[in-house]
Amino acid sequence: MQAPGTPSPLDDTRQLLLALPSSNSAAAEMVRAKLGLADRLSELAVWLAGWRGRPVLAVNRPTVVVFAGAHGVARHGVSALPAGSTAELVQTLSQGQGRLNALCAEADLGLKVFELALEHPTDDITEMPALDERGCAATIAFGMEAVAGGADLLVLGSVGVGAEVSAAAILSVLEGGDAASWLPDAGPEHVRRRAGEAAQAAVVRHRGHLDDPLDLLCRLGGREFAALLGAILAARAEKVPVILDRIPALAAAAILYRLAPNALEHCVLAHRLGSVQLDDLAQKLGLAPLLDLGLTTGDGSAGAIAAGLVKTAAKIA
């Protein structure tokens, strides 16, 4: 990490947070007046109009983006899935054979899968920072490429064995509580126990170096967390509405919220995350979930279904 007062590779990210564009309130109010309703579908149409900047809506280039990362902490047996399952899922999606592929085809959504050096896992966060500042900044910049190609609605998700450990550690630092309490209520008890122990060990290992949210990202996150943060920021700069899918995306959003509380106004959450504590955090961040279908897979499926709902909202405006 950089010495105090030394220019940081992450300074560009901090600068972007100083000039976040706002929603077009006039366009939003025109749609609100036209619909005259207070249901969730109408609220989505109003939200979409504000960020697209026009009262006549169409979602023409919706895109689902999945970032795939590998975590050194996975060696502690913190997931019921083997470490190699991330690469297998990426291959399945790349071959067009996954459930997410079918959902995207049905809803006419684009799909981009970004493999983030799966052959080189991040360092084990129970012992070392996941990334150095230069690597973190480069991955944030890479994540910003998610908006390339003119997407007008972006679904952001990720896959990575061990990612929920990083997310739990991050949320424990930002929101308090034992790191284990931020894990989803799913999976075998002995695996959840190891995951909770690893997350708490990581928080203790890096204590004293976590006051700055971007330092927190470097030390406890992973490549997909940095890429998600970059994609959220780039979408905001282009005024592209965003649907966030799963807990790593929520953790990246929570880091941005700590840096700038208005940074998530262009975002919604795809699906309930499975615990009262996570639901309360989503509400605090202004990310009320669109769906509650009991989905537990982390392949972007919930985000794809939610994107179809937003497309429907655009049609009623």
Instruction: Specify the pLDDT at position 187.
Output: 76
Are the CB atoms for 49 and 55 separated by under 8 Å?
Answer: yes
Q: Is 271 helix (H, G, I), strand (E, B) or coil?
A: strand
Amino acid present at 237: A
- Secondary-structure class of domain 61-308 per CATH: alpha beta
Instruction: Specify the pLDDT at position 185.
Output: 76
Nearest CA among 316, 229, 314, 315 for reference residue 52: 314
Handedness of CA 162, 65, 281, 288 (dihedral sign): negative
Instruction: Specify the pLDDT at position 37.
Output: 78
Q: DSSP secondary-structure letter at 148?
A: T
Instruction: Specify the pLDDT at position 13.
Output: 95
Instruction: Specify the pLDDT at position 3.
Output: 58
What whole-number percentage of the chain has pLDDT above 70?
98
Instruction: Specify the pLDDT at position 1.
Output: 54
Residue 200 tokens read as 């708490």
What is the C-alpha to C-alpha distance for residues 36 and 138, in angstroms, rounded to an integer?
45
- DSSP for 189-211, please give it: HHHHHHHHHHHHHHHHHTTTS-S
Q: Point out the residues of the chain with pLDDT beneath 50.
A: none
